[in-house]
Amino acid sequence: MIFIIVKTIHLFAVFIYGGFLITDNLFLNKIKRSFNEEEHTKIRESFMMYVRKVVPPSLLVAVATGLYLISQVFGEIGEDGLTTFQTLLSIKAFLGIWLGIRGFNQVYLKIQPLVFKSHILPFAFVITIIFLSQFMHI
Domain ranges of the chain: 2-135
The Cα 34–Cα 5 span in angstroms is 43
- pLDDT recorded at residue 124: 93
Tens of pLDDT along the chain (138 residues)?
999 999 999 999 999 999 999 988 888 878 888 888 888 889 888 888 999 899 999 999 999 999 999 999 999 999 999 999 999 999 999 999 999 999 999 889 988 887 777 888 999 999 999 999 998 877
- pLDDT recorded at residue 28: 81
The Cα 22–Cα 58 span in angstroms is 15
What's the predicted TM-score (pTM) here? Answer: 0.86
- pLDDT recorded at residue 118: 80
CB 98 within 8 A of CB 125: yes
